């Protein structure tokens, strides 16, 4: 059966044509139709039942018309599935370790059109203690209030190890806010936030906020952001290498891992002046 279309979906516009796109096509058609397919595939009755649930036992008892993982070019219940997945994050489901929304068909509706997806997700991260990987590149994540909520959640979160929010709609002020939140984060190791559609080039002010973050953050070992300023590139690289060095000494990044070991040695050589520093933070980049 097809899901009931919500009233909000009436003017949502045409749907996208792919699901799980590769990064090379993530930026295509990121316009006013962003999130329209998800919005048009929300079963309002079922979504209401999902959000009314207060325990994981109740949630597991719901009869859902879709599998845990969607597939296909146009999943019929995409919007409802997103609401269900986000509610699992909010309920701190211990079985949910990774959440991925990707590509045109993975775009989230605008926050004002559907508050039960993007706004609820970034806020729920603050209380979640089990989700370890979150990838939401090119999914219509917006700045302003959403960025502030994400920053606050990251300052409180102690479980998330990997976060990818690249190719979204975050401006310089949003990125600075997020890095201020990460200053007190003690869990995130790999953070990708480059190529924002509302920020043509990362400026010195953003890079300064990254360097400030690394003065207190001892966990981040990979930051996917382009480092366009020589001074701040050096400061950021030193912080990243310090964190990697600490992890190796503490046994968190085994020396037997040849790839990571080679990267660490290359970072050390760059800081000694044996090699020219790269344009990105060690192990980072635009990815």
In a domain, 176, yes or no: yes
In a domain, 151, yes or no: yes
From CA 130, how far away is CA 16, in angstroms rounded?
32
- Tens-binned pLDDT, residue by residue, of the chain (287 aa): 444 444 444 333 332 222 344 443 444 444 446 799 999 999 999 999 999 999 999 999 999 999 999 888 789 999 999 999 999 999 999 999 999 998 667 899 999 999 999 999 999 999 999 999 999 999 999 999 999 999 999 999 999 999 999 999 999 999 999 999 999 999 999 999 999 987 777 889 999 999 999 999 999 999 999 898 889 999 999 999 999 998 888 776 655 455 555 665 665 565 555 443 333 344 444 33
In a domain, 150, yes or no: yes
In a domain, 264, yes or no: no
Q: Where are the beta strands (DSSP E) in the chain?
A: 98-100, 133-135, 162-164, 190-192, 222-224
Number of compact structural domains in the chain? 1
Which residues form the domain of 109? Answer: 7-223
* 3-state class percentages of the chain: helix first, strand second, coil last, to nearest 5: 40, 5, 50
CATH code of 170's domain = 3.80.10.10
From CA 234, how far away is CA 283, in angstroms rounded?
14
CA 57 from chain centre, in angstroms, equals 28
- Bridge partners for 142 per DSSP: 169
The secondary structure of residue 11, as a DSSP letter, is G
């Amino acid at each position: 059966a097809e899901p009931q279309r919500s009233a909000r979906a009436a003017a949502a516009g045409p749907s996208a044509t792919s699901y799980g796109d590769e990064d090379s096509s993530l930026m295509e058609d990121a316009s006013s139709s962003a999130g329209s397919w998800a919005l048009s595939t929300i079963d309002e009755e079922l979504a209401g039942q999902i959000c009314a649930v207060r325990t994981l036992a109740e949630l597991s008892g719901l009869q859902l018309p879709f599998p845990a993982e969607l597939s296909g070019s146009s999943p019929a219940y995409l919007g409802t599935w997103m609401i269900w997945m986000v509610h699992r994050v909010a309920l701190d489901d211990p079985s949910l370790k990774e959440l991925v929304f990707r590509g045109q068909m993975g775009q989230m509706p605008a926050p004002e059109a559907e508050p039960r997806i993007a706004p609820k997700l970034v806020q729920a991260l603050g209380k979640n203690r089990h989700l370890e990987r979150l990838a939401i590149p090119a999914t219509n994540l917006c700045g302003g209030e959403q960025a502030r909520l994400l920053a606050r959640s990251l300052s409180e979160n102690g479980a998330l190890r990997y976060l990818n929010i690249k190719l979204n709609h975050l401006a310089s002020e949003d990125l600075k806010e997020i890095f201020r939140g990460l200053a007190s984060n003690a869990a995130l190791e790999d953070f990708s936030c480059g190529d924002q559609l509302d920020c043509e080039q990362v400026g010195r002010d953003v890079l300064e906020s990254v360097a400030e973050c690394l003065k207190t953050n001892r966990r981040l070992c990979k930051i996917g952001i382009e480092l366009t300023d020589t001074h701040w590139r050096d400061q950021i690289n030193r912080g990243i290498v310090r964190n990697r060095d600490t992890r190796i000494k503490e046994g968190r990044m085994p020396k037997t891992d040849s790839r990571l070991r080679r990267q660490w040695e290359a970072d050390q050589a760059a800081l000694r002046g044996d090699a020219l520093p790269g344009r990105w933070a060690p192990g980072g980049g635009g990815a």
